[in-house]
């Protein structure tokens, strides 16, 4: 199941990807490009079938997909989907298979850990930062929490997909909470960037002037340049949809409340993103919240 490359390192050959949405498909393409064998499954099978053209093996069930895989990568949408997938794959996993749980589940990671222990599934808590573009280029950031030997076993996959791997802890759990911390920063930064762009526009100015003005100063941000076209209303490209922010903010607020952290700001952010959903912007990029912050 492994090959030895020219440097003498063991090289992993087979990865199962469960959940082939935009990010999952991009990761599959990246792994295929690096000559991994990719076994893919998606709840809606038609979403996975295009990967066959790239060389992936597509299966009708998650259990079939994980057979013969050294590492399984779960990239489904929410906690219920993760738990369902674990139930499906547990009987089919080889004894040494490591499951990277990469869905954003927040503090529900404890429920996932308990289910994995009950089912005898070896998991590494491994959420990531980044969208399909970085995934396709192998430039994601993974946050990993799990036993050292399990992280080592998954290292070839993580190295293929990520330019940065943050080692959080030697037991699962902390990585999913760190993802919430990062997303709180993202959603807050996004709202303030959108608000500034909306203000500029309402003052009769080109929103791009706002970005020009802060470029190179202490308040500059790579995010502004990354989302410049969306913030200026010149692109409808979706890097991350508003509906995902609404889901994740629910996790963030629940975790904050459990930790005794006031959620005054988080509640305000949730109202803004909820209002964007009510305005029909659910599937638009995060930057589209400017539509509910403008005149």
pLDDT tens digits, residue range 50-103? 999 999 999 999 999 999 999 999 999 899 999 999 999 999 999 999 999 999
CB 174 within 8 A of CB 125: yes
Boundaries of every domain in the chain: 2-171, 177-293
Beta-bridge mates of residue 10: 4
* Structure confidence at residue 14 (pLDDT): 96
For residue 213, pLDDT beyond 50 = yes
Average pLDDT over residues 31-49: 96
CATH hierarchy code of domain 177-293: 1.10.1040.10
pTM: 0.91
What does the CA dihedral 52, 54, 56, 60 come to, rounded to 10 degrees? -30
For 104-124, how does the pLDDT look when each residue is reduced to its tens digit (9 = 90+)? 999 999 999 999 999 999 999
Helix, strand, or coil (residue 242): helix
Judged against a pLDDT cut of 80, whether residue 5 lies above it is answered with: no
What was the pLDDT predicted at 12? 60
Share of the chain above pLDDT 70, in %: 96
Answer CATH for 2-171 from 3.40.50.720, 3.40.50.450, 1.10.275.10, 3.40.50.300: 3.40.50.720
């Amino acid at each position: 199941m492994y090959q030895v490359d020219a440097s003498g390192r063991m090289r992993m050959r087979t990865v199962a990807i469960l959940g082939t949405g935009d990010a999952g498909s991009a990761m599959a393409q990246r792994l295929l490009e690096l000559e991994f064998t990719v076994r893919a499954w998606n709840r809606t099978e038609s979403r996975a079938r295009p990967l066959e053209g790239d060389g992936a093996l597509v299966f009708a069930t998650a259990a079939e997909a994980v057979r013969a895989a050294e590492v399984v990568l779960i990239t489904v949408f929410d906690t219920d989907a993760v738990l369902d997938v674990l139930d499906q794959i547990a009987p089919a996993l080889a004894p040494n298979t490591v499951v990277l749980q990469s869905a954003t589940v927040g503090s529900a990671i404890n429920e996932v850990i308990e289910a994995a222990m009950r089912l005898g599934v070896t998991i590494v808590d491994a959420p990531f930062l980044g969208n399909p573009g970085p995934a396709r280029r192998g430039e994601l950031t993974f946050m990993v929490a799990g036993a050292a030997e399990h992280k080592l076993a998954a290292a070839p996959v993580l190295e293929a997909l990520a330019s940065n791997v943050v080692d959080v802890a030697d037991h699962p759990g902390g990585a999913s909470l760190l993802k919430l911390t990062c997303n709180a920063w993202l959603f807050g930064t996004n709202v303030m960037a959108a608000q500034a762009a909306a203000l500029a526009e309402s003052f009769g100015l080109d929103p791009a002037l706002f970005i020009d003005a802060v470029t190179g100063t202490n308040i500059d941000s790579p995010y502004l340049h990354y989302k410049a076209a969306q913030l200026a209303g010149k692109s409808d490209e979706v890097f991350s949809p508003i509906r995902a922010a609404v889901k994740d903010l629910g996790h963030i607020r629940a975790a904050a409340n459990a930790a005794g952290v006031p959620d005054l700001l988080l509640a305000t952010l949730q109202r803004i993103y909820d209002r964007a959903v009510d305005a029909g912007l659910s599937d638009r990029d995060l930057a589209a919240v400017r539509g509910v912050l403008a005149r």
